[in-house]
Chain A
């Protein structure tokens, strides 16, 4: 959420230069995503035509696997990197559009329950990760970054916190590598565990939204389970994302006091700056849809637009995941993150089972 891009006014040429930079990667995202969709359809059609019972592998998984294959074999040439990095932009646009599939009442009910669970999850996760980081002798700021990344919002939270506590680039790279590697693993493990436990779409979606760190992986893990689970997962994660400003503010104040540096000036402005604006967009679209502004066909079009945006996102998740690069970042932050993730996954699973009867 700390990102910013500019709307150049005085240099019109830079718009074209920027577009030219983004275009190759964007075309790659679209190609990989569409190839995933094509493979899903082709495998299903082939099975039907030949009376074979083939596993129904959704485009989500195909797109991620194709992306992983490219990234970890041929590698991603530098010319494609700016465009591939836009996957997070498409993720956020997709989440806003997904708001059209929620009635505001459902958002408030499920979002309220999610917020309560998120508050418990964040508190316990921060405490546990901090203790774990100390036990493993990690640097305090690296521990803070890992704690924030695994308890709230993955990469976005780490970047927002890095700026707020003035952490090293190296620490944030370690923390981001650990969180992304663990997110990629969780993306495949969560659906298997969910099916093994026979979880409902709602319970699974809530668990994925609370237990997996990065929003893109949450969305993919939800979509791998079911469409309904993806909706709930995104909503729960959105509630979690909404807390980012408060936690980052808390850490900024803590480190400013500890290091005797200048603290945060205007706290309301700080909170607004760190607040993920796509949460507001999601609520606006949901409110408009609840007011029956859109016809049924229009709602279908909005849902499809959201799917296209997510298609680019899932391709990006695979393409930006390079296991060799991640391994270079060192083992200790990864071990701390992994231990934390397992505990957080079990903890959030308990919370979800505990809250399940409120959701029925």
Chain B
């Protein structure tokens, strides 16, 4: 429970370029979409 709170608030590293969790999730999703679009990822099964 509280570990969630702590993990959300904690800076994982000091210094360096920082992005929010949201921004990382968006970046990953857009990167995967781009890989699918250019054909590097041919098919994702379910």
A residues in contact (CB < 8 Å) with B: 1-11, 14, 18, 81-82, 85, 88-94, 96-97, 100, 155, 159, 163, 169, 172-173, 176-177, 180, 276-278, 280-281, 284-285, 288, 293-294, 297-298, 300-302, 304-305, 307-308, 320, 322, 325-326, 329
Q: In the assembled complex, which residues on chain B have CB atoms less than 8 Å from the CB atom of A280?
A: 26
Contact of B1 among A90, A163, A173 (CB under 8 A): A173
* Interface positions of B (Cβ within 8 A of A): 1-5, 7-9, 11-26, 28-30, 32-33, 36-37, 41-46
Contact, CB under 8 Å: B22 / A276: yes
Assembly CA distance A4 to B22 (angstroms): 8
Q: Do A305 and B21 have beta carbons less than 8 Å apart?
A: no
Find out whether the CB atom of B9 lies under 8 angstroms from the CB atom of A9: no
- In order of increasing CB-CB distance, the 7 nearest A-B pairs are A281-B26, A92-B25, A96-B29, A6-B13, A277-B22, A3-B21, A301-B44
Can you give 26 contacting A-B residue pairs, CB < 8 Å? A1-B22, A3-B21, A4-B18, A4-B20, A5-B12, A5-B13, A6-B13, A6-B16, A6-B17, A7-B16, A8-B13, A10-B16, A88-B21, A92-B22, A100-B33, A172-B5, A276-B22, A277-B20, A277-B23, A281-B26, A298-B36, A298-B37, A301-B36, A301-B41, A304-B44, A322-B1
Note all chain B residues with C-beta closer than 8 A to A11: 13, 16
State in angstroms the CA–CA spacing of A41 and B37 once bound together.
30
**A178 and B36 alpha carbons, distance in the complex (Å):** 41
Q: Which of A276, A302, A326 contacts B36 (CB 8 A)?
A: A302
In the complex, the chain A residue whose C-beta lies closest to that of B24 is: A5
